[in-house]
Structure 1
Amino acid sequence: MWLAAGLAMAGALPPKPGERDLCPVCGMLVSRYPHWIAVVAYRDGHAHFFDGAKDLFKYLGNLPRYAPGRSASDIASIWVTEYYGLTRIDARR
């Protein structure tokens, strides 16, 4: 358990959303769309979850609106769901 948490914070594994996590862009319940989850994980351990890549891109394009006080340099990792395999992949690679 500790290894998984440490790897997630280090960017090796994406964090998982809780049942009540809402997309910060559209307000939808992320857990309803488990196949399309996208994640922005911050260096301080906080994460924002999205119900799809489109809202992730909107978020990244306007951080001052969706994440006041945060900057791109605070982001540790970004994850999206690969369309064909439905697996989380590092969006920066």
Structure 2
Amino acid sequence: MDARTRVHASAATPFCRLGMLATGLLLLGGAIYGWHAAGAAAPAGDRLAVALAEDVCIVRPGAPFPGAVHPYDPASGLEMLAARPVPALARCAVCGMYPARQPQWAAQVIVASGDAWFFDSPVDMLLFIADSSRFTEGQGAGEIAARYVTDYAGGGWVPAAQAWFVHGSTANGPMRGPDLPAFAQRKDAETFARARGGEVLGFDALDGGIAELLRYGHGHHGHSMPAPVAG
């Protein structure tokens, strides 16, 4: 390379670098603008979904997830043991998902102190009821005073003891695996079972072998709950 070529190359290099930098800044600015525009366009209640686009299940027995327990608020006008709306930021006490995102599966328990614990599905509620100490380390849940599931047919909250559940259907719950769609009316559960398969069971039947299957055989996004260690 002669002297003239070297001078030309050295002079051009800073301009090339500036061009690349400007292009990068434009691309970054466009991405930031798009992200903000998406957040601004979404209703206030949906902006969290822009920031947290995917609901991730984390199997983590131990201390409660932040946002898992919700004290009773007398100003709500509800009786202390009445079913409550699922807060947008409430997290499932078992897996950490957001029950408000799939309300047709949501469940809740209310303990004697008035605290409410929400769940993304009846399966996780049953896991919690079976052994709440696994998910409330360092805090404890207290005595369970009320249990509610959502009527999959759209009828709102129903006491779990009065609900009908379809076990073994083809319907996948929020954790993308087998679950227990719940119904306020047995006829609705039977109609669902005819269409999607499965067996209609009352709440009292969800124990013994079925409870063991739900506790240890139900995968959470590909992860299984650990079985108890033989003593």
Q: Is the shorter-chain TM-score for this pair beyond 0.5, marking a shared fold? A: yes
Which structure 2 residues correspond to residues 42-81 of structure 1 after superposition, within 5 A?
A: 42-68=111-137, 69-71=140-142, 74-81=143-150
Single out whichever of 37-46 and 83-92 deviates more from structure 2. Answer: 83-92
Q: Unmatched 5+ residue regions in structure 1?
A: none
Report SS of the residue matched to 1:48.
strand
Residue equivalent to 2:156? 87
Q: Unmatched 5+ residue regions in structure 2?
A: 1-73, 163-231
Q: TM-score, normalised by structure 1?
A: 0.78
Q: TM-score, normalised by structure 2?
A: 0.34
| Residue 80 of structure 1, CA deviation | 0.7
After the TM superposition, which parts of structure 1 deviate over 4 Å for at least 4 consecutive aligned residues? Answer: none
The 1:52–1:91 alpha-carbon spacing in structure 2 relative to 1, beyond 3 Å, is same
* 2:146 is the counterpart of 1:40: no
Distance 1:70 1:51 in 2: 18
Contact 1:35/1:86, CA 8 A, preserved across alignment: no
Question: CA-to-partner distance for each residue in 1:12-68, whole Å, 9 max, x for gaps?
Answer: x30122111100111101111112210001121111001111111111112110134
Name the Cα RMSD after superposition. Answer: 2.1
Which structure 2 residues correspond to residues 20-35 of structure 1 after superposition, within 5 A?
A: 20-35=89-104
Distance 1:48 1:70 in 2: 9
Contact 2:104/2:154, CA 8 A, preserved across alignment: no
Percent identity for Structure 1 against Structure 2:
30
Contact 1:15/1:41, CA 8 A, preserved across alignment: no
The 1:4–1:61 alpha-carbon spacing in structure 2 relative to 1, beyond 3 Å, is same
Larger relative helix fraction: 2
Contact 2:106/2:118, CA 8 A, preserved across alignment: yes
Contact 1:36/1:86, CA 8 A, preserved across alignment: no
Larger relative contact order, structure 1 or 2 (CA cutoff 8 Å, min sep 6): 1
Aligned residue pairs total 87
